[in-house]
């Protein structure tokens, strides 16, 4: 979306049309009025990334400065165009922290692996359901060239499954980051500059998940997803049973805003991405094409996009502009995450680009630096 407030030059760091500290206290995870909050059975998608962002903007000068710096880095990166784009695939090691109060919440390895599989399909645009996208939007579908694998080496250098399991006394968690703290009934992250930390627990209030944008505190960096919206098997429950909550939250983690620009139903907010249609508010459930808002006809909202609020069965694509923005994140503030190649045997898709470095030990910092100069030749 390229709303009326975009293109204003150097930004304050809020992005998405939000003022620092606004809307942080009384609004629920959707940034809306509390009505309906607490309805655990609500089928409506709920993500608390923006409330967390607003809280950090209000509390932390360091975060405000980091967000402004990152947004400007991103704009510089995007302004350089394709010249800066690397030819290969970025590989990100993941640790999944399963934090459970009941046996059911102690989700299986298979459920975790099913989520990793979804991330890999969605970020490579190899998900079969991308065929849902109507021809009018098909040219926007992007392969983000990012892949994920469970870490095979832990922070101490020991072999690991990339899954930790922690029993908690807490019956549920909110978006206050307690799940990220051993002292609060959760579990501390692995080094967040080397691993994408994903916590899976029971979130309260119908909340599906939340992420921390790049630039936030290191000790709470990562993604949280409620167990019933994680993966495609086990406790994953419709309509959020296809793993798209994690895809959405990892999008935030890689610096994507909601596609409607987080200005409620207005047409002035921006997601700072040029090729997404300007859109009024979020779409929920299973929308019918076309859904025209903000004069964006005839094709209307891109409610197929992972950064909208549609049900899992509808969220099937990132755009080229979003992929470029995520790449800008991985080339700058999150460059230490990126491995040249996974430490596990690659599937055929990993051969894409043909410029992979030899496999590095899991957890070894980025070799993206080695690749980027080659890409500029």
- The C-alpha atoms of residue 107 and residue 321 are separated, in whole angstroms, by 35
Asked whether the CA dihedral 58, 64, 68, 73 is positive or negative, the reply is negative
Give the count of residues interacting with Zn ion (CB under 5 A).
2
d(CA 352, CA 340): 12
For Zn ion, the closer of residues 151 and 326 by Cβ is 326
Both tokens assigned to 120: 């890999």
Instruction: Please state the φ and ψ torsions of residue 68, each to the nearest 5 degrees.
Output: -65, -40
Distance linking the first and last C-alpha atoms of the chain? 32
Query: In the range 22-51, which residues lie near Zn ion by CB under 5 A?
Result: 47, 49
**Closer residue to Zn ion in complex, CB, 49/255:** 49
Q: How far is the CB of 251 from Zn ion (least distance, A)?
A: 8
Which residue, 49 or 293, is less far from Zn ion as judged by CB? Answer: 49
Task: Note whether 30 and 284 are within 8 A (CB).
Answer: no
Rounded Cα distance between 365 and 335, Å, is 8
Q: Which candidate in 40, 59, 62, 249 is catalytic?
A: 249
Cβ distance to Zn ion smaller for residue 20 or 31:
31
Q: Are 336 and 152 in contact (CB under 8 A)?
A: no
Using DSSP's 3-state secondary structure scheme, residue 173 falls into: strand
The CB-of-280 to Zn ion minimum distance in angstroms stands at 17
Q: Which residues contact 221 (CB under 8 A, 6 or more apart)?
A: 189, 192, 197, 212
Least gap, CB of 51 to Zn ion (angstroms): 10
For residue 258, the minimal CB distance to Zn ion (Å) is 5
Catalytic site residue 249? yes
Q: For Zn ion, give the closer residue by CB, 66 or 208.
A: 208
- How many C-beta neighbours within 10 Å does residue 369 have? 13
Q: How far is the CB of 313 from Zn ion (least distance, A)?
A: 18
Sites of contact with Zn ion (CB under 5 A): 47, 49
- What residues are annotated to the active site? 249
């Amino acid at each position: 979306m390229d709303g009326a407030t975009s293109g204003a030059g150097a930004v304050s760091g809020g992005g998405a049309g939000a003022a620092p500290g606004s809307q942080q206290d009384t609004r629920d995870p959707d940034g809306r009025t509390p009505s309906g909050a607490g309805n655990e059975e609500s089928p409506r998608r709920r993500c608390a990334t923006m409330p967390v962002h607003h809280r950090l903007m209000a509390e932390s000068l360091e975060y405000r400065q980091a967000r402004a710096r990152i947004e400007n880095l991103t704009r510089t990166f995007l302004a350089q165009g394709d010249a800066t784009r690397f030819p290969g695939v970025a590989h990100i090691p993941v640790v999944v922290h399963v934090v459970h109060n009941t046996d059911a919440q102690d989700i299986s390895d298979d459920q975790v692996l099913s989520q990793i599989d979804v991330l890999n399909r969605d970020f490579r645009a190899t998900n079969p359901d991308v065929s849902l996208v109507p021809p009018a939007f098909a040219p926007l579908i992007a392969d983000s060239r990012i892949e994920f694998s469970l870490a095979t080496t832990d922070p101490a250098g020991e072999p690991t499954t990339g899954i930790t399991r922690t029993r908690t006394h807490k019956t549920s968690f909110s978006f206050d980051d307690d799940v990220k703290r051993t002292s609060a009934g959760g579990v501390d992250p692995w080094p967040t500059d080397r691993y994408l930390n994903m916590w899976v627990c029971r979130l309260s209030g119908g909340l599906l998940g939340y992420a921390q944008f790049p630039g936030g505190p290191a000790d709470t960096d990562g993604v949280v997803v409620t167990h019933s919206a994680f993966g495609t098997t086990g406790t994953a429950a419709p309509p959020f049973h296809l793993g798209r909550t994690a895809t959405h939250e990892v999008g935030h983690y890689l610096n994507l805003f909601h596609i409607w620009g987080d200005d409620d139903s207005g047409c002035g907010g921006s997601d700072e991405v040029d090729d997404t249609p300007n859109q009024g508010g979020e779409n929920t459930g299973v929308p019918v094409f076309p859904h025209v808002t903000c004069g964006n006809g005839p094709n209307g909202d891109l409610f197929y996009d992972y950064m909208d609020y549609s049900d899992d069965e509808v969220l099937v694509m990132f755009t080229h502009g979003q992929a470029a923005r995520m790449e800008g994140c991985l080339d700058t503030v999150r460059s230490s995450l990126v491995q040249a190649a996974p430490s596990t045997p690659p599937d055929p898709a990993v051969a894409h680009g043909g410029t992979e470095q030899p496999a590095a030990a899991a957890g070894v910092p980025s070799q993206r630096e080695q690749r980027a100069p080659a890409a500029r030749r």
